[in-house]
Structures are given as C-alpha cells and as structure tokens.
Amino acid sequence: MNKTTVTNPLFWADVPDVDVIRVENVFYMVSTSMHSMPGCPIMKSDNLVDWEFVGYLYDTLEDNDGHNLIDNKNIYGQGQWATSLRYHDDKFYVCFSSNDREQFYIYQTNDIEIGKWERTTIEGIYHDPALLFDEGRVFVIYGCGDIRITELTADVKAIKAGGIDQLLLETPKEGIGLRCEGCHAYKMNGYYYLLFIEWPSDGNQRRRQIAYRSKQLLGEYERQVIFDDDMDYQNKGIAQGAIVDTPHGDWYAMLFQDHDAVGRIPYLLPVNWERDWPMIGMNGKAPQTFEIDLPASKHTPLVVSDSFDYEDNKLAWNWQWNHNPDNLRWSVTKRPGYLRLETSQLTNSILQARNTLTQRTEGPNCSGITMMEITNMKPGDHAGLVALQNKFGTVGVEVDENGKAHVTMTVNRGDDTEDVVEKIPYAKNDIHLKVNFNFKDSIDIATFYYSEDGIEWSMIGKELQMKYTLDHFMGYRIGLFNYAKRQSGGHVDFAYFHYEN
C-alpha cells in the first residue's frame, strides 16, 4: 500500500465547518459558504488529503432582495453554514439552517457528483444541525449549550408528527464562554456519539473538541474532552468538525482553526480509540506531518488562475459570486477569452455591488493579478480588484463625471461606503492590477499595485490592515468587480486572472 504524507494545515484557506463522510473508497466533504454563490461546495478525495471540487449544492439559495443585494439589503454572515452531510440507503443528504430566512433546509440526491438535488424547507432554526439515521428513524440534533433532538419523517422531508422533540442534554455553563455547538452525531461501538466544539473561559481559554456518548439515544450522556491543542498558534484551538474511517479501519478527524484574516482553515488529524472514546491527535497534540495509509492521488488547487477561455458561459468551480449574480450582466462568451462584467443597479459601495466574482485567498502569502480593458466604462463606474471582507480594500479604475479615468485605491470608511485613499489620472485603454496578501503569523496585510505594462508596478494607496469580522464571518477573498454609481450599461473586460501562492 502506498502512503500519502499529510501536512497541516490541509488548506491554508477559508474552508470552515467541515463535514466528511466515506462512501466505499471515496470521501466527500462539505463546508460553509454563506453569502457566496453557488453555495455549499462539495469536494471529493481518495485519500483525505488531495481534494477536488465536484460541484455545489445549489446555484442560488433564495431569490430576494437580501440575496440579490437590492435596496441595501444583504446576507453577509448568514445564508448556508454548519452543514451536515450523510449517506444512508444509497442516498446522500445535506441539511443546514439559514438565519436570514429562519428556515431549515434539507437536500437529497442519489448522486452527489452529478445528480439533481431535491430540496425541502422546514420553518425554524435548527442551529448547527447533525443528521442521525437510526434503525429506520431519522433525527436532527442541534443547538448551542442546550442540545435538542427532533425526529423527522422517514423521507427526511418534515417534522414527524408525534415524534421525539425534546431537550437531549444541557452542556456545562460554569467556566464556559461559548457552550457546546457544531454537533456531529454518530452511532457506533454500541454508543451514540455527539461531537461538539466549546470555548472555555478558564484553563487554556481556547476552542476545544468535546465528545458525549451514551448507550441509549435519550439516555444519560458521559462527557470527555477529546482534543485541546493549538499547534503552537496564538492559543487558537483546533476544533469543530467530523471524524471518519478509512476502508482499512483507521480513523481521522477533520477540524478547523481560526487563522484571523485568511479565515478558518482545516486540519486532518489522527484519531485513536481509547476506552471507546475517539481521542484526537498524537498524544493530544496536532502533528504537522504524518503518513496516512491511502495512496497518493491527483492534487487540484483550491484557488486557480483563469484565462477565461470557455466554450460555454460557465466558470470553473473555484469561482463564487458575492451574493446572487445577475446572469444577464456577465459573460465569458460575448468576447471569447475575456470575462465581461457589465454594470447593473447603482450603488456607492462594492459591498452592495452585484457580480463581484471571488475566490479564496491562501496563506502564508498569495497574489492576484489581472489585466482589465476599460474603454467601455461610463461616468461613475468603478472596476478592478478587491480584497473583500467588511474592511475591504480595492485597486482599480474610476471614471469621473467628465469621463476622465483615474486609478484609485479605496477602503471601507466604516459605513459601507468607500473612501478614496489615492487617486491618479490614467490615460491608457487597459490597466494591470495586483493585490498582495501576507497572512504569515497573522500579520494580515494587503498591498495594492497597478501597472501600464504588467512589468513595472507602482504601489498605490496604503497597506490594508485586514481584519476578520463576524458580520461577514468569512476569510478575505480576492474578487473582480465592476459597478456603477451614476448610470448602468458600461462594461469592462478582464483578460485573465493570475494567481500566485
């Protein structure tokens, strides 16, 4: 058997709230994408190390003003998150709650890679849900601190009338800042296991992984801390996620760690069963490297360069839109070899601009570079590259009311409108733009550049001190944008996106 070397973190990028399952010899994983569309990425691996996108759960979750960035509405930090993925009786199930809609979503399909997903919604929030299939019955276990259990119908489409719906257990309050949440539920070894993350306010004062177990689903549960380590990174605990076995019977955990501006990044860790408890790590520590008894496979990057050379008007899976796209206003086929972004509704901030096309950023350092043709911009248009979070920074071109172009660097001044930090007249018909990201040791600095020829670069504006904020709840993304402040109808053409890590 060939072995594969695991190097932690598995991705130095925002892939949070992971859930992982194995179906025969293949592993599947879902994670949170909130306001990014298409949503709920589905990834596939043969060895838990080399992952590739195979699709998304949906293209858009809802069609309303918040999801469409209309009338200053948005769903930042909401949408889909903390998703449960399960496989039962030849069918895949995915469920999550959406706080903006106060609904519980359940999707199911016979083919997770190319099948059509059937969607059901149930009123109410089932916080951080875990699906559990048990002897012909189906349950969702959820909550923060006070953990509840609700029985679903056998077809997993509704709450079962007269079924179980009760408080399952109360997790400790004393010395705990954030009580147990992020449930993952399993039945094995004669036990029901419930895995959570909690954040104590005493002791190490960092996120840690907790397990509860009971011989009876509704019985008394025992409690055990199964992992408490930060891998020597600023006391930021590695916690919340799934455990999964290999075809050979080895066990592993996929958890994540807060890494400030780049986001919440996943780690793959060994699991050893001790007295029927799934203890994570090696002697309680997260190893930076170790070997796994599964063969190496093709590695596909999480973030990619793109020449925008497509036969159909469909982008690589690595791209996601910020909120729902306006599909009439973008194209990679109108001008082959270019991404065209046309302006639509008017706004004064990129946070409310439609059709901002994004990818993740990666640590410890990365850069995004593009060339943009600007001849069809209209007065009031603003287009370019963005380092996107609430505290954003942009480099691009703005056209004033007289039709004169300027290269600008802007930041969020704090009320979702943009402050121009530096503004320089620009006369050429195209421009090269670049953003550098430095996430090493949470330095979290972004710098912005422009060039007339793509060879000689000039820094513009100021360094952006990036900050992960909970209103967006997402690591910084790099994005291509174009929006109008005065009139719609202008467009820009991006010739390429080059990514360097």
Instruction: Give the model confidence (pLDDT) of 96-118 as tens digits.
Output: 999 999 999 999 999 999 999 99
Say if residues 275 and 25 touch (Cβ distance below 8 Å): no
Could you give the 3-state DSSP secondary structure of residue 352? helix
Judge whether 307 lies within some domain.
no
CA-nearest of 178, 321, 183 to 258 is 178
Q: What is the pLDDT of residue 358?
A: 98
Judge whether 170 lies within some domain.
yes
Compute the average pLDDT of residues 436-442: 97
Q: What is the pLDDT of residue 367?
A: 98
Question: What is the number of domains present in the chain?
Answer: 2
Q: Is the pLDDT of residue 413 over 90?
A: no
Q: What is the pLDDT of residue 299?
A: 87
Within this chain, do residues 81 and 197 fall inside the same structural domain, yes or no? Answer: yes
Judge whether 432 lies within some domain.
yes
Within this chain, do residues 234 and 333 fall inside the same structural domain, yes or no? Answer: no
Within this chain, do residues 218 and 77 fall inside the same structural domain, yes or no? Answer: yes
Q: Is the pLDDT of residue 1 over 60?
A: no
Instruction: Give the model confidence (pLDDT) of 336-364 as tens digits.
Output: 999 999 998 999 999 999 999 999 999 99
Within this chain, do residues 210 and 324 fall inside the same structural domain, yes or no? Answer: no
Judge whether 304 lies within some domain.
no
Within this chain, do residues 185 and 326 fall inside the same structural domain, yes or no? Answer: no
- Please tell me whether the overall predicted TM-score, pTM, comes out greater than 0.95 for this model: yes
Say if residues 483 and 343 touch (Cβ distance below 8 Å): yes
The confidence band for 418, taking pLDDT boundaries of 50, 70 and 90, is confident
CATH code of 397's domain: 2.60.120.200
Distances (CA, A) of 293 to 52, 251, 296, 391: 20, 11, 9, 43
Distance CA(194)–CA(196), nearest Å, equals 7
Which residue segment(s) compose the domain that 104 sits in?
Answer: 16-239
Q: Is the pLDDT of residue 190 over 80?
A: yes
Within this chain, do residues 55 and 174 fall inside the same structural domain, yes or no? Answer: yes
Q: Is the pLDDT of residue 416 over 70?
A: no
Q: Is the pLDDT of residue 122 over 60?
A: yes
Distance CA(107)–CA(282), nearest Å, equals 36
Judge whether 481 lies within some domain.
yes
Instruction: Give the model confidence (pLDDT) of 9-68 as tens digits.
Output: 999 999 999 999 999 999 999 999 999 999 999 999 999 999 999 999 999 999 999 999
Judge whether 152 lies within some domain.
yes
Q: What is the pLDDT of residue 288?
A: 97
Within this chain, do residues 359 and 476 fall inside the same structural domain, yes or no? Answer: yes
Within this chain, do residues 207 and 332 fall inside the same structural domain, yes or no? Answer: no
- Assigned token pair, 380: 């009031």
Q: For the chain, give the percent of residues with pLDDT over 70.
A: 100
Instruction: Give the model confidence (pLDDT) of 151-185 as tens digits.
Output: 999 999 999 999 999 999 999 999 999 999 999 99
314-333: b (≥16 Cβ within 10 Å) or e: ebebbbbbbbbbbeebbbbe
Q: Is the pLDDT of residue 415 over 80?
A: no
Within this chain, do residues 361 and 470 fall inside the same structural domain, yes or no? Answer: yes
Among 239, 264, 295, the domain-final residue is 239
Within this chain, do residues 98 and 227 fall inside the same structural domain, yes or no? Answer: yes
Q: Mean pLDDT lowest for which of 289-293, 297-301, 325-329, 489-493?
A: 297-301
Distance CA(305)–CA(318), nearest Å, equals 10
Among 214, 239, 264, the domain-final residue is 239
Within this chain, do residues 328 and 473 fall inside the same structural domain, yes or no? Answer: yes
Compute the average pLDDT of residues 395-423: 92
Among 239, 265, 295, the domain-final residue is 239
Instruction: Give the model confidence (pLDDT) of 273-314 as tens digits.
Output: 999 999 999 999 999 999 999 998 988 999 999 999 999 999
DSSP 440: G
DSSP 34: B
Distance CA(148)–CA(154), nearest Å, equals 19
Distance CA(180)–CA(225), nearest Å, equals 12
Distance CA(391)–CA(468), nearest Å, equals 8
Judge whether 381 lies within some domain.
yes
Q: What is the pLDDT of residue 53?
A: 96
CATH code of 224's domain: 2.115.10.20
Judge whether 220 lies within some domain.
yes
Q: What is the pLDDT of residue 417?
A: 75
Compute the average pLDDT of residues 383-410: 97
